[in-house]
């Protein structure tokens, strides 16, 4: 007789195997469907083959804070030069400064023989005292009817001329002492004691040190990012650990053919005259402003003549558009022309796109928030 227990056991095992096979088949089918769906929704090439919209990711062009640091090495120079000339002819008595001397405003630079000028002033004062008394007498006589108005006016003219002579003599005497008009450094000394000056003679050349200029050599690719008034921080080899602050006062328009750099002049206040011509250092220019921008990854051909982006329209089609770029910093690129705030640009998947192609955009979170 047949063994019914074994038969029932065999049937149960076959049933379990059948169920397992069925479940496995369903899992494989579901996984395959999911994989096909995943590929169609993420792989542009496969989506295009079956005529589906191309999957992409988009963000909106937005006004954001762009900040970049332009670095350059350079050296300190005087901010201006002052040429000193004598205003009188006289013998040089003393020159208490030499080439490279640091001077403060008002410090004595040249002393000329003042004896003749002091005597002229004394004589002018005596004459002015006499004409003043003579004018007073003539005014008294005229008041008593004993003098004429013509004589009084003549005395008044002589007194005015005498007083003017006193002023001229005082000025001439003061010109025997030449003082520094600025805080600076002596760049050139062209006179010595014992020489006789002449009014057209250059005797000293000064360089202004308060403020000074840091002349930095900036790479030509940064020319569009440097502007007047930019804030700058300067570190020097002479003062390690000390940061000097300033701002861009002048930008040289010419680019050196040898170094491919242009010069930027940074004005630095220097009240203690610590910074002197020739001190070398490194400048950091803070390029900081608000501007319309997009993620740099959205831009194609970023180093070519024609940078482009794909812009998504309201019908979910991508249109290739040429743009004009500005500065790039922190993964953002400034858009000078070609986009409006709020327009959607493709940041992922654009390399496989064609102009006017249907897309399936996946909008990302706001990208310009910190």
Q: Are residues 273 and 316 in the same domain?
A: no
Is 263 part of any domain? yes
Tally of domains in the chain: 4
Is 21 part of any domain? yes
Q: Are residues 281 and 297 in the same domain?
A: no
Q: Are residues 159 and 213 in the same domain?
A: no
- Which of the listed residues 152, 175, 198 is the one where a domain comes to its end? 175
The residues near 168 (Cβ < 8 Å, ≥ 6 apart) are 124
**pTM: predicted TM-score of the whole model, two decimal places:** 0.64
At 279, which CATH number?
2.40.30.170
In our burial notation (b when 16+ CB lie closer than 10 A, e otherwise), range 192-227 reads eeeeebeeeeebbbbbbbbbbbbbbbbeeebbebbe
- Quickly state the pLDDT bin for 343 (edges 50, 70, 90): very high
At 135, which CATH number?
1.10.287.470
Q: What is the mean pLDDT of the chain?
A: 85
Residue 262 has pLDDT above 80, yes or no: yes
Residue 267 has pLDDT above 80, yes or no: yes
Which of 45-54, 272-281, 293-302 has the highest mean predicted lDDT (pLDDT)?
Answer: 272-281
- Which of the listed residues 288, 320, 340 is the one where a domain comes to its end? 288
Q: Are residues 300 and 358 in the same domain?
A: yes
DSSP string, 92-121: EEE----TT-EE-TT-EEEEE--HHHHHHH
The residues near 92 (Cβ < 8 Å, ≥ 6 apart) are 110, 111, 112, 113, 191, 192, 193, 194, 195, 196, 197
Distance CA 249, CA 214 (A): 10
Q: Are residues 309 and 325 in the same domain?
A: yes
234 near 218, Cβ under 8 Å? no
Res 162: pLDDT:
94
Pairing mode, if any, of strands 357-363 and 54-60? Answer: parallel
pLDDT in tens, 347-357: 988 887 888 88
Residue 35 has pLDDT above 50, yes or no: no
Q: Are residues 281 and 309 in the same domain?
A: no
Is 26 part of any domain? yes
pLDDT in tens, 297-315: 889 876 566 889 999 998 9
Q: Are residues 279 and 298 in the same domain?
A: no
Q: Which domain holds residue 275?
A: 69-79+207-288
Is 270 part of any domain? yes
Residue 338 has pLDDT above 80, yes or no: yes
Q: Are residues 348 and 302 in the same domain?
A: yes
Q: Are residues 217 and 256 in the same domain?
A: yes
Q: Are residues 315 and 278 in the same domain?
A: no
More confident residue, 168 or 54: 168
Q: Are residues 217 and 255 in the same domain?
A: yes
Distance CA 255, CA 307 (A): 25
Range with the poorest average pLDDT among 6-20, 152-166, 194-208:
6-20
Distance CA 357, CA 275 (A): 62
Q: Are residues 303 and 333 in the same domain?
A: yes
More confident residue, 138 or 27: 138
- Which of the listed residues 288, 306, 327 is the one where a domain comes to its end? 288
């Amino acid at each position: 007789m047949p063994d019914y227990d074994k038969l029932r056991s065999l049937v149960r095992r076959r049933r379990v195997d059948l169920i397992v096979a069925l479940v496995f088949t369903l899992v494989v089918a579901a996984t395959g469907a999911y994989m096909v769906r995943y590929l169609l929704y993420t792989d542009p090439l496969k989506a295009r083959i079956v005529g589906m919209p191309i999957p992409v990711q988009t963000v909106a062009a937005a006004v954001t804070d762009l900040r970049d640091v332009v670095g350059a090495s350079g050296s300190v120079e005087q901010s201006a030069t002052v040429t000193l000339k004598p205003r009188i002819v006289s013998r040089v008595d003393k020159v208490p400064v030499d080439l490279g001397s640091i001077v403060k405003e008002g410090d004595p630079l040249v002393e000329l023989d003042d004896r003749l000028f002091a005597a002229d002033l004394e004589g002018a004062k005596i004459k002015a005292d006499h004409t003043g008394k003579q004018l007073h007498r003539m005014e008294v006589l005229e008041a008593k009817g004993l003098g004429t108005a013509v004589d009084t006016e003549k005395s008044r003219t002589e007194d005015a001329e005498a007083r003017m002579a006193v002023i001229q003599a005082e000025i001439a005497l003061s010109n025997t002492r030449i003082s520094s008009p600025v805080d600076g450094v002596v760049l050139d000394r062209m006179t010595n004691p014992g020489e006789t000056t002449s009014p057209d003679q250059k005797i000293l050349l000064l360089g202004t040190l308060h403020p000074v200029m840091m002349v930095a050599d900036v790479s030509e690719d940064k020319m569009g990012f440097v502007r007047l008034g930019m804030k700058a921080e300067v570190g020097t080899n002479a003062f390690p650990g000390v940061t000097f602050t300033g701002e861009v006062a002048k930008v040289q328009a010419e680019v050196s053919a040898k170094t491919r750099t242009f010069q930027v002049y940074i004005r630095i206040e220097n009240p203690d005259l610590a910074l002197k011509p020739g001190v070398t250092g490194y400048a950091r220019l803070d390029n900081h402003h608000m501007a319309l921008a997009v993620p740099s990854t959205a831009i194609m051909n970023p180093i070519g003549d024609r940078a482009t982006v794909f812009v998504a329209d309201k019908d979910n089609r991508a249109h290739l558009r040429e743009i004009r770029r500005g500065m790039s910093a922190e993964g953002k690129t400034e858009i000078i022309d070609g986009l409006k705030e709020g327009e959607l640009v493709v940041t992922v998947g654009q390399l496989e796109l064609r102009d006017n192609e249907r897309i399936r955009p996946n909008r990302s979170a706001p990208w310009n928030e910190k």
